[in-house]
Amino acid sequence: LAEDGYRLWQRYEQVQDAARLQAYRQALNELVVQGNSPTLTVAQQELQTGLSSLLGQPLAAVKSPTKQNILVAGTPSGSALVKELATAARLKPLGEEGYLLLTTAKDGKQYTVIAANTDIGVLYGSFHFLRLLQTQQDIGKLSLASSPKIKHRVLNHWDNLDRTVERGYSGFSLWDWHRLPGYIDQRYLDYARANASVGINGTVLTNVNANALVLTQDYLKKVAALADAFRPYGLKVYLTARFSAPIEIGGLKTADPLDPQVQAWWKQKADEIYTLIPDFGGFLVKANSEGQPGPQNYGRTHADGANMLADAVAPHKGIVMWRAFVYSEDEPDDRAKQAYNEFKPLDGQFRDNVLVQVKNGAIDFQPREPFHPLFGAMPKTPLMLELQITQEYLGQGTTLAYLSPMYKETLASDTYAKGKGTTVAKVVDGSVDKHRLTGIAGVANIGTDRNWTGHQFGQANWYSFGRLAWDHALSPEAIADEWIKMTFTGEQEFVAPVKNMMMNSHEAVVNYMTPLGLHHIMGWSHHYGPGPWIKDKHRADWTSVYYHRADEKGIGFDRTASGSNAVNQYFPPVAKEFGSLKRCPEKYLLWFHHVDWDHQVNSGRTLWNELCYRYSSGVDSVRQMQKTWDSLEGMVDRERFSHVKQFLAIQEQEAAWWRDACLLYFQTFSKRPIPQDLEKPA
Ligand code: GCW
């Protein structure tokens, strides 16, 4: 079997540590799963095949215990044994998706229990239990409860119906529309399994730059077939709704959300969808942004548009995820301010089955952005956080950038909306404003490549998105640790250096692409490679010079009161911090300030020298990553070793390209030498 990464983090290789293996074998003599449902069948299969493989010996599944040391999985309503073993008091608070892992004894028998209120909870618990063995944890005295902090944990596929993927770097779309609904590719099931293993419970199949055709009956049947395949894994299907669909496929003259015919069309469309897919999740909408149609075409607001769709799906318990990534027809004075300006006044006007989906930052998935000022600013509206897993602005297909630290940076940012400690995570999980409807979305990096994500290490970003969506309190280190052990090996001589490499990788990319708060200086439109010189496009905010504003004096976008005053969209303590040249975190310096070349930064260097230093150290970090990886040869199979090695070589070239291009270009303004003690650009 070629080691092509297809099995992701679900390799279930036999446990290497002899003592652990023995303990596991002793505790797990047989598996008891009582109850019957497609989800329980999947859970049982996963436990049986996974554990047989981890233990290196077959594990029998039976309906009632015959041995001494038993693994039991189920719900109190489906399994008398679970009802006896797991106390209702502990189970109840875990809700519809949570679970309990427990070691207990009864009538002289030893039990390891995976208990939940629902079958899907049992499946999530089973994956957690498997993870404990995959990472060689003690399972001798389990007493662990877990439930998700966020309700809707959703992948956004930017997949087109012709199977190309917008900003996709790992082949084509997984959805084989041509062969659906008749043919269910095993890959769909493997995809659903992988998602369930990290608790992802929804998937938007289609691009936000939407095609109305997916809402026609022929396509809906195909979507229904996917939904049927995913259902046992707790994965709900959603679609993007093209706002002009009533015109394009409905034959109406308008898509005005206040027009009764338009409203009736969407209601009828929703009814039709729910007849085919009774648990359809709902719609994701990009409207009045980058040329997409929307309610503003008819002089209506985002709330008018979202509410019309919300009313259509409400009788079926569907939701609408309405994106706040708006990009106006006219040029704004500062693009960073637009979403806030358009959406904040609408707070309180959305139906209660609408989430407003906000990107982590106000510009667009840059290598680093300060958190979006809308978080905390719309207390009456549940805000869904949108993260990008695919690496549009982060080197795309060949760059090793572990994004968990970046996700965490946003989640941990303090909005001060309700005083200190009002983090983005707490806004998003609903705890600040007492929202029950909560959500988080990740723009998927998944495609038809054998290893799913193009870069072997891209798998870690899919994995981390799921883990953080379930529990935003997890640390990126802990997530990396799990992922490495499950994906490669548990040997410390491998785990420690690889973890270190991953933990530094995002910062390295920021350093060689956009250090100190620089942003959007990538190649025009494709966003690949450096392009700080891009200018003279039909609108200023499509150029790079708009964002970096380099001149003889200095560099950076003044978003303080003397400039666009975008800082003012933040709550006062944050506005003060970001707005002060002294106090602004250096990582956001040029995001908020136009800074003199000779300004002294924290290191004591001048800004110009610091810029040179950062660009150069980013390249050095990649070289260090190469050394680390080379030193691990032999500890990982040849195929994956060589894949990563080759990609790192590409990354090294690109890092040097970024450094040289940016420094030489910015030097035409700074007119200062590149310091001698740094590596000279080639
Ligand atoms: O990041 C930008 C991308 C577009 C994308 C858009 C969006 C789907 O460059 O390709 O379109 O954002 O998020 O809507």
For tokens 């650009």, name the residue.
681
CB contact at 8 A, 153 and 204: no
pLDDT for 680 beyond 70: no
477 is catalytic: no
Q: Which of 256, 392, 409, 610 is catalytic?
A: 392
**Which pLDDT band holds residue 1 (cuts at 50, 70, 90)?**
low
- Residues 274 and 262: their CA atoms lie apart, in Å, by 18
Tens of pLDDT, residue by residue over 86-124, are 999 999 999 999 999 999 999 999 999 999 999 999 999
**Range 350-371 average pLDDT:** 98
Q: For 562-578, b where at least 16 C-beta lie within 10 A, e where not — what string?
A: ebbbbbbbbbeebbebb
Supply the mean pLDDT for the chain: 97
pLDDT for 206 beyond 70: yes
Enter the tokens of residue 583: 């106090």
**Which pLDDT band holds residue 637 (cuts at 50, 70, 90)?**
very high
In a domain, 571, yes or no: no
Helix axes 217-230, 186-197, angle to 10 degrees: 60
For tokens 């420690």, name the residue.
496
CB contact at 8 A, 232 and 197: no
What pLDDT score does 349 carry?
98
277 and 298 assigned to the same domain: yes
347 is catalytic: no
Question: Of 454, 487, 520, at which residue does a domain stop?
Answer: 487
In a domain, 9, yes or no: no
339 and 430 assigned to the same domain: yes
DSSP H helices, 488-565, are: 492-513, 545-548
**Range 611-637 average pLDDT:** 97
Cα Rg of the chain (Å, integer): 26
Domain that holds residue 389: 152-487
Pairing verdict, β 99-106 and 143-146: antiparallel
**Range 583-598 average pLDDT:** 98
In a domain, 374, yes or no: yes
For residue 207, give the ligand 1 atom closest to its CA: 8
448 and 423 assigned to the same domain: yes
In a domain, 464, yes or no: yes
DSSP assigned state of 114: E
204 and 222 assigned to the same domain: yes
Pocket flag, ligand 1, residue 325 (CB < 6 Å): yes
Straight-line distance from the first to the last Cα atom of the chain, in angstroms, rounded to the nearest whole number: 43
Three-class secondary structure of residue 494 per DSSP: helix
User: How far apart, in Å, are the Cα atoms of 572 and each of 280, 372, 578?
Assistant: 41, 15, 10
Question: Of 93, 118, 146, at which residue does a domain stop?
Answer: 146
In a domain, 173, yes or no: yes
Enter the tokens of residue 341: 């300006």
Three-class secondary structure of residue 5 per DSSP: coil
451 and 519 assigned to the same domain: no
Instruction: Kindly give the distance from the C-alpha atom of residue 615 to the centroid of ligand 1, in angstroms, as a whole number.
Output: 27
pLDDT for 682 beyond 50: no
Enter the tokens of residue 251: 């034959």
Triad 268, 272, 277: Cα angle to 5°: 140
**Which pLDDT band holds residue 465 (cuts at 50, 70, 90)?**
very high
CATH number of the CATH domain containing 51: 3.30.379.10
In a domain, 242, yes or no: yes
User: How far apart, in Å, are the Cα atoms of 423 and each of 84, 222, 443, 572?
Assistant: 40, 40, 22, 15
179 and 270 assigned to the same domain: yes
In a domain, 257, yes or no: yes
User: Of 166, 357, 358, 360, which is best to mutate to test ligand 1, by the most ligand atoms within 8 angstroms of its C-beta?
Assistant: 166
CATH number of the CATH domain containing 268: 3.20.20.80
**Range 9-20 average pLDDT:** 97
407 and 324 assigned to the same domain: yes
Pocket flag, ligand 1, residue 615 (CB < 6 Å): no
Domain count, the chain: 3
For tokens 């309610």, name the residue.
295
292 and 229 assigned to the same domain: yes
In a domain, 273, yes or no: yes
Whether pTM > 0.95 for this model: the answer is yes
345 and 435 assigned to the same domain: yes
User: Of 158, 173, 204, which is best to mutate to test ligand 1, by the most ligand atoms within 8 angstroms of its C-beta?
Assistant: 158
437 and 547 assigned to the same domain: no
Question: Of 146, 179, 210, at which residue does a domain stop?
Answer: 146
242 and 139 assigned to the same domain: no
132 and 164 assigned to the same domain: no
364 is catalytic: yes
pLDDT for 187 beyond 70: yes
Q: Which of 17, 138, 218, 290 is catalytic?
A: 290
Share in percent of the chain as helix, strand, coil (round to 5):
45, 15, 45
**Which pLDDT band holds residue 582 (cuts at 50, 70, 90)?**
very high
CATH number of the CATH domain containing 531: 3.90.1330.10
